[in-house]
Amino acid sequence: METIALGAESIIYKVRRWDRPLILKWRQTKPYLFRDIDSQLNRLRTGRECKMLTMARTLGVPTPAVYSVDLVNHTILMDYIEGTQFKQIVDTLSSTRLSQLCHLFGRLIAFLHRGDIVHGDPTTSNLIVDDDFRLWMVDFGLSEMNATVEMKGVDLHLLRRALETTHWDLEDIMLKATLEGYTQTLEEDANDILSRMNEIRERGRYH
Amino acid sequence: MIMTIICLGLEGTAHSFGAGIMTDRGDVLSNEYDMLKTTQGGIHPREASRHHTELGPMIIARCIENAAIDYNDIDMIAFSRGPGLGPCLRATATMARTLALKLDIPLVDVNHCVAHIEIGCLESKFQDPVTVYVSGGNTQVIAFAGSRYRTFGETLDIAIGNMLDVLGRELGMGFPAGPIVETLALDGSTFYTLPYSVKGMDLSYSGMLTAAKKLHSEGVKLADICFSVQETAFGMLAEIAERAIAHTKKRELLLTGGVARNNRLTQILEGVAQRHDAKFHRVSSQLAGDQGAMIAWNGILQYNAGHTIKVSESNVLPKWRTDEQDILWRD
């Protein structure tokens, strides 16, 4: 068993079962949280992630398949996707390739939104680029169904925020390509959501 | 003899007006402030700016007297240029400009949020922290990346201090309600589940606030409401702070702003730091809230990096974003 990531939310292990590599995602107990909140969140997010990985796939978003889930220990066993986190290779790509991948990122978010689902944490850390430059979306623990324009606007706001804090030197071309992919997919349905995104950015601090 | 730079910093972004005097060695010579207290709670921008205009000159005079210096000993003036309430910023900037012109010394414009972080770094000796900045008007998780301070997460609706004050008003407490909520929460025993809303590295408090008010109308004990609200609100904040630490891989966690005075919040964030082997520091009470010393200190950092501003270009910036300022003194 090999630890491949220690995130804020979980530990990701690479395991070998049935003669193939798989991912075991474990949401650990957080000792600093009040225990009721901690156990409710872990149970909710583990269950939700399983369901949403499948839902997303039915909407056309590539996601790892789930093999089993344990709602007591808060673990999920799923496909291991051979590839690299998008975040890690952004700086190594040509601008054409980068725009292409961001465009695809925008399309995938649009597929989810068209099905009234928001990802909840749409960052370049939660995308895996495989050897054929296909994008896989992971980490659906914060995703939600029955999404409203407001929720979709928040999703895009988070996406922009992630680009600006993580890829500040490439933010302009990445955001442009991502929103293009998004708008081309959703067409006029994108307008309300995009203007909501801009509105949300202005809230939260007093002016 | 080595010359020391003495800076007078004026803070007035919201309901507090402060004047602080610092040296470039990092000594606080004096730090005087006054907060507008309203019977109803909440801030009316015009009322607050009147408070600053009326009390400002007296607070500045007291600050200089307490520092045991003379007006002519001041080498530079720094002021909070934004972000904040327009009328308050303008009242404060007017005093700063007048002093700079009268004393014929340099004027430096300071970003309020950045000043909170830098005074915290001075006190904690932290080099490069993830900062949780929590006050009546702000709830932000900020870290330095790519020559700017960037907001990794923040509230999508109301600030944590504002949420506590509104709750306090509904529950019939005084203003500010934060300390009362903290005390009452100690007697809470039953936890009521409230909406827990974390989105990416952002969070939202309005749903939780509505649900907490509803508990009150259903007759739930005040202590239990306060307890449930604190655990939920601080839990969300801890989660986004942890996300920022995991994401940036920084090894220091700084807690600042008026709500940093809360002991339960401190305890929870200490737990976050521990889990990631990070150092933790809570900014001391007198430097955590809005005051002039932090403005003075940031002014010195900017001045030493070669930045001053002309009076004619010193218009206030009510919507000045944290990541819009070049951080000249860090690399």
Domain shared by B213 and B256, yes or no: yes
Q: Would you state the pLDDT for residue B175?
A: 77
User: Are B155 and A204 spatial neighbours (Cβ–Cβ below 8 Å)?
Assistant: yes
Across the range B206-210, mean pLDDT stands at 96
- The mean predicted confidence, pLDDT, of chain A is 94
CA distance B213 to B277: 38
Q: What is the chain B residue with the closest CA to A200?
A: B156
Q: B92-106 in b/e burial notation, b at 16+ Cβ within 10 A?
A: bbbbbbebbeebebb
Q: Is the peptide bond before B83 cis (omega within 30 degrees of 0)?
A: yes
The two tokens of residue A108 are: 């995938």
Query: In the predicted model, is pLDDT for residue B185 greater than 60?
Result: yes
Q: Would you state the pLDDT for residue B208?
A: 97
Nearest CA-CA distance, residue A19 and chain B, Å: 32
Tally of structural domains, chain A:
2
Domain shared by B10 and B133, yes or no: no
CA distance B192 to B318: 38
Q: CATH number for the domain including B133?
A: 3.30.420.40
Residues of A in contact with B144 (CB under 8 A): none
Domain shared by B279 and B220, yes or no: yes
Report pLDDT digits (tens) over B26-40: 999 999 999 888 766
Establish if B1 belongs to a structural domain: no
Nearest CA-CA distance, residue A168 and chain B, Å: 7
Establish if A207 belongs to a structural domain: no
Chain A interface test: which of B199, B206, B243, B322 (most A C-beta within 10 Å):
B199
Residue B229 is inside which H or E element, if any? helix B222-248
Tally of structural domains, chain B:
2
Across the range B168-179, mean pLDDT stands at 88
Residues of B in contact with A206 (CB under 8 A): 14, 83-85, 137, 159
CA distance B13 to A177: 38
Across the range A93-119, mean pLDDT stands at 97
Domain shared by B129 and B234, yes or no: yes
Domain shared by A115 and A170, yes or no: yes
Domain shared by A71 and A89, yes or no: no
- A145 three-class SS: coil
- Alpha helices (runs of H) in B67-111, residue ranges in sequence order: 86-103
Last residue of a domain, one of A79, A102, A121: A79
Residues of B in contact with A122 (CB under 8 A): 200
Domain shared by B230 and B316, yes or no: no
Report pLDDT digits (tens) over B250-296: 999 999 999 999 999 999 999 999 999 999 999 999 999 999 999 99
Domain shared by A29 and A121, yes or no: no
Report pLDDT digits (tens) over A155-206: 999 999 999 999 999 999 999 999 999 999 999 999 999 999 999 987 755 4
Domain shared by B51 and B97, yes or no: yes
Q: In this complex, do B193 and A40 lie within 8 Å of one another by their Cβ atoms?
A: yes
Domain shared by B257 and B217, yes or no: yes
The two tokens of residue B308 are: 């001053």
Establish if B329 belongs to a structural domain: no
At B262, the amino acid letter reads N
User: Are B8 and B20 spatial neighbours (Cβ–Cβ below 8 Å)?
Assistant: yes
- The mean predicted confidence, pLDDT, of chain B is 94
Report pLDDT digits (tens) over A135-157: 999 999 999 999 999 999 999 99
Q: Would you state the pLDDT for residue A206?
A: 47
Task: Supply the range of the domain harboring residue A56.
Answer: 2-79
Residues 147-206 of A with CB under 8 A from B: 154-155, 157-158, 161-162, 164-166, 168-169, 200, 202-206
Q: Would you state the pLDDT for residue B41?
A: 63
User: Are B74 and B100 spatial neighbours (Cβ–Cβ below 8 Å)?
Assistant: no
The two tokens of residue B319 are: 């919507």
CA distance B257 to B18: 14
Q: In this complex, do B85 and A122 lie within 8 Å of one another by their Cβ atoms?
A: no
Q: Would you state the pLDDT for residue A205?
A: 53
Domain shared by B197 and B315, yes or no: no
Domain shared by A196 and A127, yes or no: yes
Which of A19, A79, A116, A121 is labelled catalytic?
Answer: A121
Provide the percentage of residues in chain B whose pLDDT is more than 90: 89
Query: Residue A59's pLDDT band (boundaries 50, 70, 90)?
Result: very high
Domain shared by B91 and B200, yes or no: no
Q: In this complex, do A125 and B146 lie within 8 Å of one another by their Cβ atoms?
A: no
Query: A with B: how many residue pairs have Cβ under 8 Å apart?
Result: 113
Nearest CA-CA distance, residue B97 and chain A, Å: 22
Domain shared by B174 and B283, yes or no: yes
Domain shared by A72 and A89, yes or no: no
Q: What is the chain B residue with the closest CA to A163?
A: B152
Q: Would you state the pLDDT for residue A7?
A: 78
Q: Would you state the pLDDT for residue B237?
A: 97
Domain shared by A120 and A51, yes or no: no
Q: Would you state the pLDDT for residue A207?
A: 39
Q: B275 touching A, CB under 8 A?
A: yes
Establish if A32 belongs to a structural domain: yes
Query: In the predicted model, is pLDDT for residue B224 greater than 70?
Result: yes
Q: CATH number for the domain including A171?
A: 1.10.510.10
Across the range A37-45, mean pLDDT stands at 95
Across the range B307-314, mean pLDDT stands at 96
Task: Supply the range of the domain harboring residue B88.
Answer: 6-111+290-324
Q: In this complex, do A8 and B138 lie within 8 Å of one another by their Cβ atoms?
A: no
Does A131 qualify as catalytic in the annotation? no
Q: In this complex, do A204 and B146 lie within 8 Å of one another by their Cβ atoms?
A: no
Q: Would you state the pLDDT for residue B40?
A: 67
Q: Which residue has the tokens 């520092």?
A: B67
Report pLDDT digits (tens) over B111-144: 999 999 999 999 999 999 999 999 988 999 999 9
Domain shared by B93 and B135, yes or no: no
Instruction: Enumerate residues 6+ apart whose C-beta is below 8 A from B249.
Output: none
Q: Would you state the pLDDT for residue B163?
A: 95
